[in-house]
Chains A and B, each alone.
Chain A
Amino acid sequence: MPEAIATEDLRRTYRRSGRDGSDRVALDAVTLQVRPGELFGLLGPNGAGKTTLIKILTTLLLPTSGRAWVDGLDVATQAEAIRPRINMVSGGESSGYGLLTVRENLWLFSQLYGVPTRTARERIDKMLAVVSLADRAGTKVSQLSTGLRQKMNFCRGFITDPKILFLDEPTLGLDVQAARAIRAFVRDWLAEKPDRTLLLTTHYMQEADELCDRVAIIDQGRLLACDTPEGLKRQVRREATFEIDLAPGPQRWEDLAFVPGVVRCTATVDANRSVLRLALDEEPVVGRVVQAIVERGGHILRLRNEAPTLEDVFVRLVGRNLEAGEP
């Protein structure tokens, strides 16, 4: 079985409008593979090249050099064969004919894929229920808010039952409840048929962490890392960190730094508790620390393993957080 998506040394440049006439590099030597059945995440700041990559994979844009395949088909030469197998939804997209209702718009888009009207109706009803838009099915799109239009467009991606779906920031600007419903649906949709594949770009680290089987981090057109969320976290985790809350007492805790395996120890003390922040060579060292605390008469209220987040991974690799945007 071919990879659902594969790229090899993919490069895309855009001609800059200006005096120097130099090209802007949007993608640079990107090589990646997405397996059938995977939910693959692309993380990167604005201008990182995520949308360019998606546009190449969805046959809207040709690469400047390198190659890309979707379901084993070359995006440059076999676009017509790829198109029935894919669909794409972009977050913030407000497409649709304003004078048509939500249901009519979705039906119209389904016809571009040859979905029989009866099947289209069933899928539309199901999808509108998923995004809590069933009560607006007969409302003209011109009367919908941006968020509701976005929900409609999310439905558009699924009613054609694509084998490979590209979601570009699908929950951008949606309320928490809607975003949660969409994430739950995405998981169920993939579980329903094992050969479905989904490529997702998102600004929300937690969303990527929660949903994706693997995540690629991309910045300034280059692929910086690609692994499972856990694998990525392991890459940046050089020391184990713990936070321990202790009942107030006369003890001084800074000298726990002398316990073998403890790299750093800081303590903050207030009237109600002492909070220790520990960096350890490895996780099992925490046992020795706990023993040392108990031997000194300390009373542990809470112990928390501070695992790195995808955000930490991102900051370590990119040098800034997502909100910081372009350098």
Chain B
Amino acid sequence: MNRVALFVRAAFARAYPRIVGLIREPTWMIQETVLPILAVAAYALVYRTLHAPDELVAFVILGGAMTAFWLNVLWAMGAQFFWERDSGLLEIYVLAPAPLMAILAGMALGGIFMTLVRAVAILAVGLFVFGVRLEPSSWLALFGVFALTLLALYGLGMIFASAFLMWGREAWHVVNLLQEPVYLLSGLNYPVRTLGTVLATIAAALPLTVGVDALRQLLFGEAAVGLMPVGWEVALLAVAAVLFLALAAWSLATLERRARAEGRLSTRNQ
């Protein structure tokens, strides 16, 4: 079988449990939709109480939707190898001929599908409860930037996953540490330019920051108080996507070999 066909089969197979999980465990929906909606609603109500411009409420809604993808990248993808090792599945994946990149692509695909439900629920609340209006300058550009942001984000997730392959619990702590600072730096609930030039420039290294900023500019124009022109942000996202995916492939191969050398792929070493 050629490598592309094997990659596609393996990726689809790994996505399958996540997609099926949506239907078979409906209680999961409550956790994935109601709770994030409450968190986002709290921010939106604060802005409303302060009589902030409508765009800020829209920022929170969009930020809330994009947060779901960031969390998915961290915990349902990066950390997944940690769980898979503990449950004995990692060995099965490593000794199979399908590349680990295909397994991660499957996790990403399944994860995006699951996360879309959460993102759509948040957007729906924004549209129908808070009256947010989505009128992008170009729907095509909006979807293009969204797809590019996801590509870069999940590329970053694949790098995290390779770290989990090698360091397991230690990687867990690092990822835990990353969660809140990334929320802050990504400007998910406010225009990132508010952080000042230095911090905003540092924050621009994160695809989430750049992606969210570009999406806001496409949706709200000048009111978005953009960090840089959308064209630049698209270029940055494209570079990040290619770079992260290439780095992920390299680090997966390198760290898999190191994990084999150090006996870290399995829990039983007798």
Contacts and interface: CB of A to CB of B under 8 A. Distances in A.
A309 interface: no
Secondary structure type dominating chain B contacts: helix
A52 B266 CA distance: 11
Contacts of B13: 107-109, 111-112
A321 interface: no
Contacts of B21: 99
Given A59-B94, A59-B260, A62-B260, A95 B10 contact: no
A37 to B, nearest CB: 22
B94 A60 contact: yes
Chain A, interface size category, equals: 35 or more
A50 B269 CA distance: 10
A59 to B, nearest CB: 6
B261 interface: yes
B93 interface: yes
B104 to A, nearest CB: 13
A272 B103 CA distance: 70
Contact of A97 (B17, B98, B260, B269): B17
Given A14-B263, A95-B92, A99-B24, A111 B270 contact: no
Interface string B1-35: 10001100110111011001100110000000000
Interface stretch (B83-91, B139-147, B168-176): B83-91
B265 interface: yes
Contacts of B266: 55, 60-61
Contact of B265 (A48, A60, A109): A60
B95 A51 contact: no
A112 B98 contact: yes
A112 B10 contact: yes
Contacts of B262: 15
A31 interface: no
A60 B88 contact: no
Contact of A95 (B14, B89, B96): B89
B51 interface: no
Nearest to B98: A112
A94 B88 contact: yes
A221 to B, nearest CB: 10
Given A95-B89, A112-B93, A46 B270 contact: yes
Nearest to B23: A99
B96 A108 contact: no
A51 B270 contact: yes
B52 to A, nearest CB: 43
A105 B1 CA distance: 21
B221 interface: no
B97 interface: yes
A265 interface: no
A100 B260 CA distance: 29
Interface stretch (A83-91, A121-129, A282-290): A83-91
Contacts of A84: 97
B110 to A, nearest CB: 11
A95 B88 contact: yes
The winner among B21, B24, B103, B269 for most chain A CB atoms within 10 A is: B269
Nearest to A54: B270
Nearest to B257: A62
A86 B93 CA distance: 13
Contacts of A94: 88
A107 B13 CA distance: 8
B98 A113 contact: yes
A80 interface: yes
A269 B125 CA distance: 92
Nearest to A107: B13
A15 to B, nearest CB: 8
A114 B99 CA distance: 11
Contact of B95 (A48, A87, A104, A140): A87
A41 interface: no
A199 B66 CA distance: 50
B95 A59 contact: yes
Interface of A: 14-15, 26, 46-52, 55, 58-62, 79-80, 83-84, 86-88, 90, 93-97, 99-100, 104, 107-109, 111-114, 140, 156
- Nearest 8 interchain pairs by C-beta: A111-B13, A112-B96, A114-B1, A84-B97, A95-B88, A114-B6, A112-B98, A83-B97
Interface of B: 1, 5-6, 9-10, 12-14, 16-17, 20-21, 24-25, 87-89, 91-98, 103, 257, 260-263, 265-266, 268-270
Given A26-B269, A108-B13, A111-B9, 19 more contacts: A50-B270, A55-B263, A60-B94, A60-B260, A61-B260, A61-B266, A79-B260, A80-B97, A83-B95, A95-B92, A99-B24, A104-B16, A109-B13, A112-B9, A112-B96, A112-B103, A113-B97, A114-B9, A156-B92
9 contacts: A26-B270, A46-B270, A58-B95, A62-B257, A88-B91, A104-B20, A114-B5, A114-B10, A156-B92
